[in-house]
Amino acid sequence: MGAEDPNSLVAVEFEVFGQVQGCFFTKYCKDLAESLGICGWVKNTKRGTIYGKVEGCKAHIDVMINWLSTEGSPGCKIERCDLTNWQYLSRLDYNNFSIRF
């Protein structure tokens, strides 16, 4: 996205591919999001991927994206993380982070 203000509010949707189900990925994702003050949601898909939306300050979203792209939960094997629908926000749409079923 470039070198914009790290405090600006942004939102992005993500989909994580690889061996990412059955390893508590959504729980670890929620724990990290809450520790960073990120709002949004995450869920397992029928395709075997992890899908969700995160929103918060750009600096914290960058940390989250790095985790989603390279680290993930213990025991997972991430192939790639696709990011779509980047948006700048004037205010957050969500007030917490949830796991959807």
Identify which of 101, 75, 94 has the alpha carbon closest to the alpha carbon of residue 37: 94
Query: Which sign does the torsion angle of CA 58, 63, 64, 68 carry?
Result: positive
Q: What CATH number does residue 19 fall under? A: 3.30.70.100
Domains contained in the chain, number = 1
Residue 19 lies in a domain: yes
Is residue 57 a part of any domain in this protein?
yes
Mean pLDDT by 10 residues, the chain (101 residues): 76 98 98 98 98 98 98 98 97 97 93
What domain range is 60 assigned to? 9-99
pLDDT at site 4: 67
CA distances from 48 to 14, 44, 62, 91 (A): 14, 7, 24, 32
How far apart CA 49 and CA 17 sit, in angstroms, is 5
